[in-house]
A = this chain, B = another copy of it.
Amino acid sequence: MDRIDHGIIDRLRLNARAGYADIGAEVGLSASAVKRRIDRLVADGVIRGFTVQVDPAVEGLATEAYVELFCRGTVSPTDLKRILAGVPEIVEAGTVTGEADAIVIMRARDVIALEDALEKVRAAATVDHTRSAIVLSKLITRTAG
């Protein structure tokens, strides 16, 4: 993982279908040298895969929300994980510093479906309450999701 590997990954991030020669021109390497590096990055697990970014509206997952989770007493990350794993609408979740115990990102077809999913989270005995912020307009999306 040197400077050139990072350059190659940056290029692939912008366009995973770019040709080896094009990438090589950017990072100052021949096409075959670029291919050897990419093959190695994939073999080593640095690159996990090549994927496509799709308009969420088309996917039927237009409604997104950031949800803060507040629990009763002390809950271990393992317990939280078990509770959240069963809700497919949860796209991302993590324990956090600050007031809340965890922050959860959810995606669903519409607000109704989102509320249903939220109800599943709230149903857990350890969950005291939640605070949701529904996304109105997406400003930046640099993840593949």
Seen from chain A, the residues whose Cβ lies within 8 Å of a Cβ on chain B are 1, 9, 12-17, 45-55, 58-59, 64, 66, 77, 80-81, 84-85, 90-98, 100, 102-104, 131-145
Among A12, A53, A132, max chain B CB count under 10 A is at A53
Enumerate chain B residues within 8 angstroms of A132, measured Cβ to Cβ: 97-98
Pair B85/A140 contact, Cβ less than 8 Å: yes
Output the least CB separation between A87 and chain B (Å): 9
Main SS at interface, chain A: strand
Task: Count this chain's copies in the assembly.
Answer: 2
Given pairs A46-B58, A93-B139, 17 additional interface contacts (CB within 8 A): A9-B52, A9-B54, A12-B51, A13-B52, A16-B51, A17-B17, A49-B52, A50-B52, A51-B51, A51-B52, A85-B140, A90-B142, A94-B140, A97-B134, A97-B136, A98-B131, A104-B140
CB atoms of A139 and B50 under 8 A apart: no
Task: Determine the residue in chain B with the shortest Cβ distance to A90.
Answer: B140
Task: Identify A135's interface contact among B1, B48, B95, B138, CB under 8 A.
Answer: B95
